[in-house]
Amino acid sequence: MQRITGIEDVRAGLDALCVADPRLGRVRDLAGDVPLRLTEPGFASLTSIIVSQQVSRASADAIMGRLLTLMDPITPDAVIASDDELFRAAGFSRPKQRTLIAAAEAVRGGLDLIDLCELPAEEAILRLTAVPGIGPWTAEIYLLFAAGHPDVFPARDLALQVSVGHALGLEERPGEQIVAEIAESWAPWRGVASRLFWAYYRHIKGREAAPITQNHKKS
């Protein structure tokens, strides 16, 4: 399986997608720059994705910024050693705090976030979602941005649902199942398609909606 490791892989994927589905040519033209969005795998990256769960990009940026002023570097040991006051000061909800602590404990217990990137997507998702509070969306985002997996499309993502519905002229925002079915035709480049539709969301809404990730290799 070819991993997404550089912007040239994104461009190759976009070319292939536009040939396979000509509707995406217009989407690509309007979306403008489609970033690589690749980050170093590890606990800091997973933390930023957990922070992005169920909040806007602006809120996630603010929470992550506060966390970094209170905990730098972000490590499993630092998370486990932190008290409730630190998480409140950073703006964590109780469920988000519990998820981050569970992730820290899982890593200390043997979950290898770097080796996990070499696994097939299905197995990697199963291992990540075994951690309390980590669902498929979080696991899929980690595989996209930390593992460079080429064929993952997080159909649960609200921004992707909005942008796919808008781009394809659907009357209502499609739900997870419909978006997943639509995205099947974009295999084996669904990871690039997700990047394209986040860029298209930025075009139609004027703001960034892709989840934040720490330690970007390249924008």
Question: Do residue 192 and residue 160 come from a single domain?
Answer: yes
**9-37 pLDDT per residue, tens:** 999 999 999 999 999 999 999 999 999 99
Number of domains observed in the structure of the chain: 2
Question: Do residue 28 and residue 44 come from a single domain?
Answer: no
CA distances from 84 to 7, 42, 43, 98 (A): 40, 23, 20, 10
Question: Do residue 105 and residue 170 come from a single domain?
Answer: no
Identify the pLDDT of residue 214. 59
Beta strands in the chain (DSSP E): 38-39, 216-218
In a domain, 119, yes or no: yes
Taking the CA of residue 96 as centre, how many other CA atoms within 13 Å lie in the half-sphere pointing to its CB?
Answer: 22
Q: Tell me the CATH number at 195.
A: 1.10.1670.40
Helix, strand, coil abundance in the chain, percent, nearest 5? 60, 0, 35
Confidence of residue 212 (pLDDT cuts 50, 70, 90): confident
CA distances from 114 to 4, 15, 129, 148 (A): 15, 29, 16, 12
Question: Do residue 72 and residue 12 come from a single domain?
Answer: no
Nearest one of 207, 61, 52 to 142, comparing CA atoms: 52
- Residue range 104-128: mean pLDDT, rounded: 96
Give the end of a domain, one of 127, 145, 163.
145
- Of 1-5, 115-119, 125-129, 185-189, the poorest mean pLDDT is in 1-5
For the chain, what is the mean pLDDT?
A: 94
Q: Tell me the CATH number at 57.
A: 1.10.340.30
Is residue 215 scored above 90 in pLDDT? no
In a domain, 2, yes or no: no
Question: Do residue 58 and residue 15 come from a single domain?
Answer: no
Q: pTM, whole model, 2 decimals? A: 0.93
Nearest one of 125, 167, 182, 126 to 149, comparing CA atoms: 125
The secondary element (H helix, E strand) that includes residue 138 is helix 136-145
In a domain, 133, yes or no: yes
CA atoms of 139 and 60, how far apart (whole Å):
17
**40-76 pLDDT per residue, tens:** 999 999 999 999 998 999 999 999 999 999 999 999 9
Identify the pLDDT of residue 219. 40
Task: Look up the domain containing 174 and give its range.
Answer: 7-38+151-218
**87-115 pLDDT per residue, tens:** 999 999 999 999 999 999 999 999 999 99
Contacts of 40 (CB under 8 A, 6+ apart): 146, 214, 215, 217
Sign of the Cα torsion 74, 76, 82, 84 reads positive
Identify the pLDDT of residue 1. 62
The secondary element (H helix, E strand) that includes residue 95 is helix 94-108
Taking the CA of residue 9 as centre, how many other CA atoms within 13 Å lie in the half-sphere pointing to its CB?
Answer: 21
Question: Do residue 114 and residue 32 come from a single domain?
Answer: no
